[in-house]
A and B are shown apart, each in its own frame.
Chain A
């Protein structure tokens, strides 16, 4: 007789919402008439993610930490905070997916991915007004996987969630309508390297299982307390960490990031940069502090080192980039390093201010980077988005509002005071210094200074250079965004400013949420 596991449906509601929406999306894809499918899919996906956002927020009212689903899921402060973040950012990304006013072909996604790029049929389809709607259920599944990822209390669930979030991402990064060769290349690279990395994660899982007899995070913790740290466990930890650092695009596991960010359709890049980062760091925090919190001394030097490498690689390589998407990818690598600074600031007992700081940073970074990529979708030339730096020269004279909004996001990414980026950086650096990691904070400050250079370069270019291609009348055009992108830009810009000027309440919230169950 097998006992049914206890399921707290209330605690699972956010996940059920998203996965429910994803499944309905698949059904809609199969049965709804094609002509009216797009609005239905968008509605289903938005209802799912926003429903998840609302239910997570409802869960925080009168909230009790608990471990549910036969111990597989931990519904605690960090899980809810990060789930809410992912659901919110995911909903915003879906709005970017749904933008139809910018591209002359009415969508950023290819109509039929199976048609070879550049073939006559492909060119024919380029002018067809049909849109592709498979991306919505796929993205919704990815969002569900991410939300599961940050709540996983069990390495196996973590692995499954990792795959559930990755597989749809591999697919949708190959679905760009324009520059399909780049997009397909990005998908292949992302897929092969992602599969490679998850194999490492899985082997780590197996070794930890061998060492402790369980894959439950709590059991690993007690086993490592009782039995000390044997080679098997440490090797397992190393491989698990490799898998997670890959997803978080931390150097030296960052190599896929620039290529994939550049090649993928920009809305997808925005989605990856914002949501995947949150999910990956949620899992890193949970793994390191719930399962290996007692063996903190083993991994602390390692995190220290990769944080430095990541900050330096991201900041230095970003300097010579000429493509904005690629530059933002290197920025994302540098930010992963800054986030690890917050992980270090978590403190030996996991009670430092680092957890709250890291979660807050994830929220601010997600909003800012999403906004920055959203601006990228606006500036276009004949072949889709105009992402080359030179095409942005003198943008301010043509479109001051777009330039101003981009400036805000770039300043936030650079961590200039009165933007969300500053508050986030301040919080994580302070947490690191509190834990005595001031050399790390110092490197982080230097890396921020170097990175600030390439953000400011874009601003200078937008404001002080003669407009690109103006004399030949063939500069890029700034598209008028439709409702979805406008909403995204308004929300992200407002939040970036608000979290910079009055971050108090959200910081409080992060602080109150910052206790793991385990």
Chain B
């Protein structure tokens, strides 16, 4: 089984994530789609680490996980605060700033 499959899978996951950001309304789900994109990158990194025979890619995947965790903390805090005010987590509702 070639490594290409993993790469293609990762690319598909990345695309699903990106499309999810575009089509989903709930801020939490949008955010999860972003997380999906990050994890698809992790898959890519690990695959490339295997392909190039270096360990760097795997280490980078750990970095990404840590950063993603930090992002979750910040993101959920922000989404929570707006949810408490608006009683809605829909990203389309937050639409005061425009033009």
Cβ contact within 8 Å between A184 and B81: yes
Asked whether A215 is an interface residue with its Cβ less than 8 Å from the other chain, the reply is yes
Is A206 engaged at the interface, CB distance under 8 Å to the other chain?
yes
- Stretch in contact with the other chain, from A114-122, A308-316, A360-368: A114-122
- Supposing A191-B78, A209-B60, A213-B52 touch, asked if A203 and B27 sit within 8 A by C-beta, the answer is no
What's the nearest-Cβ distance from chain A to residue B99, in Å?
Answer: 8
The reply to whether A209 and B21 form a contact with Cβ atoms under 8 Å apart is no
8 Å CB interface, A350-379 against B:
none
Q: How many residues of A contact B (CB 8 A)?
A: 42
Of residues 149 through 201 on chain A, the ones whose CB sits less than 8 Å from some CB of chain B are 156, 159-160, 163, 167, 170-171, 174, 180-182, 184-189, 191-192, 195-196, 199
Shortest beta-carbon distance from A186 to chain B in Å: 6
The residue in chain A whose Cβ has the minimal distance to the Cβ of B53 is: A213
A207 within 8 A of B: yes
Contact among B37, B40, B60, B91 with A192 in the assembled complex (CB-CB below 8 Å): B91
* Contact status of A156 and B81, CB under 8 A, knowing A192-B30, A195-B75, A210-B44: no
- Inter-chain CA distance A213–B64, complex, in Å, is 18
B9 at the A interface (CB under 8 A): no
> How far does the Cβ of A414 sit from chain B's closest Cβ, in whole Å?
23
Are A188 and B48 CB-contacts (below 8 A) given A160-B63, A202-B41, A209-B60?
no
A199:B78 contact, CB within 8 angstroms: no
B74 shortest CB reach to chain A, Å = 5
B41–A188 CB distance below 8 A: no
B38 touches A118 (CB 8 A): no
**Does A267 belong to the interface (CB within 8 Å)?**
no
Residue among B56, B63, B80 making CB contact with A209, cutoff 8 Å: B56
State A43–B67 Cα separation when bound (angstroms). Answer: 29
Stretch at the interface among A15-23, A256-264, A297-305, A416-424: A256-264
Which listed residue, A113, A210, A215, A263, touches B51 by the CB 8 Å rule?
Answer: A210
Report chain A residues within 8 Å CB of B71: 163, 167, 195
Minimal beta-carbon separation of A124 from chain B (angstroms): 16
Closest approach, in angstroms, between the C-beta of A191 and any C-beta of chain B?
Answer: 5
Cα distance A182–B94 in the bound complex, in angstroms: 9
**Residue B12 at the chain A interface, CB threshold 8 Å:** no
A328 → B minimal CB distance (Å) = 14
Contacts of A184 in B (CB 8 A): 78, 81-82, 85, 94
CB neighbours of A182 from chain B (8 A): 96-97
Chain B nearest CB, measured from A119 CB (Å): 8
Cross-chain contact A188 with B27 (CB below 8 angstroms): yes
Contact A196 B85 (CB under 8 A): no
Q: Mark B86-98, 1 if CB is under 8 A from A, else 0.
A: 1000010011111
| Contact B85–A188 (Cβ < 8 Å) | no
Whether A192 contacts B70 in the complex (CB less than 8 A), given A182-B96, A187-B78, A199-B37, comes out as no
Min CB–CB distance B34 → chain A (angstroms): 4
Chain B residues contacting A187 (CB-CB under 8 Å) are 78, 81-82
Partner of A181, one of B52, B78, B79, B96: B96
User: In the complex the two chains form, what is the Cα distance from A156 to B45 in whole Å?
Assistant: 12
Shortest beta-carbon distance, A185 to chain B, in Å?
4
* A188 contacts B78, C-beta separation under 8 Å: yes
Tell me how far the C-beta of A208 lies from the nearest C-beta in chain B, rounded to whole angstroms.
Answer: 10
Please judge, given known A-B contacts A206-B44, A209-B57, whether A167 and B94 are in contact too, CB under 8 Å: no
B77 CB within 8 Å of chain A: yes
CA distance A114 to B74 in the complex (A): 13
CA of A196 to CA of B47, assembled, Å: 22
Residue of A nearest to B61 (CB): A206
- Nearest A residue to B80 via CB reads A114
In the complex, chain A residues whose CB is within 8 Å of the CB of B27: 188, 192
Q: How far is the CB of A217 from chain B (nearest CB, A)?
A: 14
B25 → chain A closest CB, angstroms: 12
Which residue of A has the minimal Cβ distance to B11?
Answer: A203
- Whole-angstrom CA separation of A263 from B66 in the bound complex: 29
A210 B48 Cβ-Cβ under 8 A? yes
A215 to B34, CA, bound (A): 23
Asked if A214 is at the interface of the complex by the 8 Å CB criterion, the answer is yes
Contact status of A188 and B91, CB under 8 A, knowing A202-B38, A203-B40: yes
Bound complex: CA of A186 vs CA of B94, how far in Å?
9
**Contacts A163-B71, A195-B34, A213-B54 known; A114 to B81 CB distance under 8 Å?**
yes
Is the CB–CB distance between B94 and A185 below 8 Å?
yes
Instruction: Determine if A171 and B77 form an interchain contact, defined as CB atoms under 8 angstroms apart.
Output: yes
Instruction: For the complex, give the distance between the alpha carbons of A150 and B82 in Å.
Output: 33
Least distance between B45 CB and chain A CB atoms (Å): 5
Task: State whether A160 and B67 are in contact (beta carbons under 8 Å apart), knowing that A185-B96, A192-B30, A196-B34 are contacts in the complex.
Answer: yes
A497 to B44 CA separation, bound complex (whole angstroms): 51
Closest 6 CB pairs of A and B: A199-B37, A210-B48, A259-B97, A206-B44, A185-B94, A213-B52
On A, residues with C-beta under 8 Å from B are: 113-114, 116-119, 156, 159-160, 163, 167, 170-171, 174, 180-182, 184-189, 191-192, 195-196, 199, 202-203, 205-207, 209-210, 213-215, 258-259, 262-263
A-B contacts, 22 listed (Cβ < 8 Å):
A116-B85, A117-B85, A159-B63, A159-B67, A171-B77, A174-B78, A174-B82, A180-B85, A181-B86, A188-B82, A191-B74, A191-B75, A191-B79, A192-B30, A195-B34, A195-B71, A199-B18, A202-B41, A202-B64, A206-B57, A209-B56, A210-B7
Q: A171-B78, A210-B44, A210-B52 are in contact. List 16 more A-B contacts (CB 8 A).
A: A114-B81, A119-B85, A156-B63, A167-B70, A167-B74, A171-B77, A182-B97, A184-B81, A185-B94, A191-B75, A192-B31, A192-B91, A199-B34, A210-B7, A215-B56, A215-B60
